Amino acid sequence: MGAPGAAALLLLGGLLCGAGGQRVQVQEEVVALAGEDAVLPCVLGAAGPDLKVSQVTWVRAGRGGRQNVAVLHPRLAPSFPGAGAGGRLRFQGRSLQDATLLLGPLRLDDQGVYTCEFATYPDGNQGASTRLLVLAKPENRAERREVAAGSVPTPVATCTAAGGHPAANISWESPVPGTAEASAEAAADGAVTVTSRFSIVPTRAADGQRLACVVSHPSLPQPESLPVTLSVLYPPVASISGYDHNWYLQRREAALHCDAVGNPAPTTFAWSTSSGLLPPSAEARGSRLLVHTVDLLANTTFICRASNALGSAAARQPVLVLAQPRTDGAGATGGIIGGIVAGIVATAVVATGVVICRQQRKNRTARGDDSLDEPPPYKPPPPHEKLQEPPWAPERQLLPLQPLGPEPPDEAGGTLASGQALPRYHELPTAEEPDGDGDEDRDEDKDRDGDGSYMEQLNPLYEELGSDGDAAAPAQGFVMSPAVYV
Ligand SMILES: *[C@@H]1O[C@H](CO)[C@@H](O)[C@H](O)[C@H]1NC(C)=O
């Protein structure tokens, strides 16, 4: 803590005040850190012109009674008679009205009560006292104690606040109910080391729980929280997963997994069967068992034994080898769910296909052409920017991939803007020019007389879908294959 910190601590001491209605003004309490300097203010206030100060003395109340530690005289040099604080005391100024005392670097045994006394004429002696608190910041640490699982309360974490002055206060925040027990030990200089042990019933469930040791001390702006993650040691608990109830003869690469927890984490896995050894086609890879080809030897109960330093546990999985693959999925929930999902998806796909086909047939019927089977009728484009640009045809072919939903008009407009060859496609189908690519008729041309209303007739789907009725929008749904003819 630097000078600002010390200043802040000084402020803690409160205001200058005159004790007992006297005119001597001191700070009731001064708090400072060991190693830093303390300022003990002492001012004689409201002194009249006639008042004479003959001497100022700082007195410390000690075990052996009063002890003078600093004396200020009008003509003689300041004197510091006390042995203990000898070289570490000085007056801030030389004025007999202001006997503010500096003490430092502070030691813990400087803590005490200091009285500042003025010897005056004609009023006599006047004094006031200051309590000096010297703080030492504790060194805090917390650690867990690994314990074996059990049913008796056991210390699982220790928290230490070392070298604090005064003694630090330790508490615990824990999701697991427990009790704390603290002890304190004072060093020769007065610093105190506090140790707190937190005890719980060390169940398996407590393993990995996080708790916190909270140290409070006057030198800390806020309590310091130290996290501890508990470690409760327990032997493995094992189970086997991965059996899908569909092991059939000649099946390739069937697998089982040994799921084992424990503290420490189980690292040794031994696989066997109820009949003894593993079948030759089975290969153990740590917690995994791979059966390369299922045969009758796999028609048995597989056993996994997981071990850690504290012990081991076995899990069993009976396997029924089938002559044929199971197709109904009856034995496996996964199969049932998979079947249902597949059925739904298939139904949706078919239904979508039917709807699309029906709509397109309707459209073609409405237009009276078989655009999907034959080249659609073609009508010469308008005079401006015609033909000449087959290159953009491929773009057109991509369009069918877009959703059938109505397009915002401006997007359709954008298409128009980029595809200069529009005129080739926006002609109405006519009987006389069957070789064209005109099937793409749709979009574009509001500029060509009445196309918009024509398109709406052509594409009932868009009406059904609640299209905004913009003639350009329907284009996307009907581009389909005719572009191939371009
Ligand atoms: C596997 O063993 C069971 C009896 O445990 C038997 O009913 C079944 O037929 C056997 N599977 C094959 C494919 O032999």
Residue 102 belongs to domain with CATH number:
2.60.40.10
- CA dist 11 to 31, 40, 41, 102, Å? 8, 12, 12, 16
Say if residue 218 is in the same domain as residue 244.
no
CA 322 to ligand 1 center in whole angstroms: 7
For residue 176, tell me if it sits in a domain.
yes
Owner of token pair 């670097």: 105
Report how far residue 160's alpha carbon sits from residue 197's, in angstroms, rounded to the nearest whole number: 9
Mutate to test the pocket of ligand 1, among 320, 322, 326 (most ligand atoms within 8 A of CB): 320
Rg (CA), the chain: 47
Stated pTM of the model:
0.59
For residue 359, tell me if it sits in a domain.
no
Please give the pLDDT value at position 86.
67
Say if residue 224 is in the same domain as residue 254.
no
Say if residue 185 is in the same domain as residue 158.
yes
Nearest to 385 by CA among 421, 353, 411: 421
Nearest to 258 by CA among 283, 287, 279, 280: 287
Say if residue 312 is in the same domain as residue 194.
no
Nearest CA to ligand 1 atom 1: 299
Domain around 262: 235-322
Please give the pLDDT value at position 263.
96
Say if residue 60 is in the same domain as residue 85.
yes
Do residues 196 and 159 touch, judged by C-beta distance below 8 A?
yes
**What pairing do the DSSP bridges indicate for beta strands 147-148 and 232-241?**
parallel
Nearest to 274 by CA among 313, 303, 245, 241: 303
For the chain, the residue count is 486
For residue 60, tell me if it sits in a domain.
yes
As given in the structure block, the two tokens for residue 314 are: 């076995």
Nearest to 42 by CA among 120, 99, 118, 103: 99
Please give the pLDDT value at position 249.
96
Owner of token pair 């006394």: 117
For residue 295, tell me if it sits in a domain.
yes
Instruction: Indicate if the alpha-carbon torsion angle 327, 333, 338, 339 is positive or negative.
Output: positive
Say if residue 190 is in the same domain as residue 118.
no
Question: Residue type at 483?
Answer: A
DSSP conformational letter for 221: S
- Domain count for the chain, please give it: 4
Say if residue 146 is in the same domain as residue 191.
yes
| Ligand 1 contact, 318 CB (< 6 A) | no
Do residues 248 and 324 touch, judged by C-beta distance below 8 A?
yes
For residue 178, tell me if it sits in a domain.
yes
Report how far residue 9's alpha carbon sits from residue 457's, in angstroms, rounded to the nearest whole number: 88
Atom of ligand 1 nearest to the CA of 299: 1
Report how far residue 16's alpha carbon sits from residue 11's, in angstroms, rounded to the nearest whole number: 10
For residue 84, tell me if it sits in a domain.
yes
CA 298 to ligand 1 center in whole angstroms: 10
Please give the pLDDT value at position 455.
40
| Ligand 1 contact, 296 CB (< 6 A) | yes
Orientation angle between helical segments 451-458 and 333-367, nearest 10 degrees = 130
As given in the structure block, the two tokens for residue 387 are: 């033909």
Q: What is the mean pLDDT of each run of 10 residues along the chain (486 residues)?
A: 42 39 85 96 83 92 86 92 80 90 93 94 92 97 96 97 97 96 96 98 96 97 97 97 96 96 96 93 96 95 96 96 80 48 55 57 48 43 42 39 39 37 34 40 40 40 40 38 37
Please give the pLDDT value at position 424.
32
